[in-house]
Amino acid sequence: MPDHARKNVLSTPLILIAVLILVGLGLMLFFGGRAYRDYRRLQQQGLSPGVTDVEAIRGWMTLPYIAHAYGVPEAALFEELGVPHAANEKLSIKQLADKYGREPTEVRVAIQQVILSYQPAARPEAEGTP
């Protein structure tokens, strides 16, 4: 086999490998950036009960994590979704939606409703007080 033919045969797989590595790094940077942005948002806004932003709930969160972060009982979340606690405590919201054939948005809204129902009601200001 001539030298120039051998170089072409060897360079094609190397180019393909290099392209795949670059695509992988690009995807890693893109999704890593999104995860970091969500992490920073949660750190800045906090998740203390009474001052919560239910819009901060993401598909990667598990029900025990949400229960702890938002100060609601785990049982209430599992009950609202109609899923057993056993074998589901380590699944994310997205994984639960896939497993039980529900839309992720539907699951997220149900969780948000439970969280809001456990938040203390806002106290109206007494009339006539400055």
DSSP letter string, 30-57: HHHHHHHHHHHHHHHH---TTS--GGG-
List, for residues 37-51, the tens digit of each pLDDT value: 888 877 776 655 444
- Segments forming the whole domain that contains residue 111: 47-119
- What's the angle, vertex CA 57, arms to CA 45 and CA 93, rounded to 5? 155
In a shared domain, residues 71 and 18: no
Count up the domains in the chain and report the number.
Answer: 2
Per the document, the length of the chain is 130
Task: State the average pLDDT for the chain.
Answer: 81
98 occurs within a structural domain: yes
Which amino acid would we find at residue 128?
G
Instruction: Specify whether the CB–CB gap between 47 and 69 falls below 8 A.
Output: yes
In a shared domain, residues 25 and 53: no
pLDDT band for position 100 (cuts 50, 70, 90): very high
125 occurs within a structural domain: no
**What are the two backbone dihedrals, phi and then psi, of residue 92, each rounded to the nearest 5 degrees?**
-75, 170
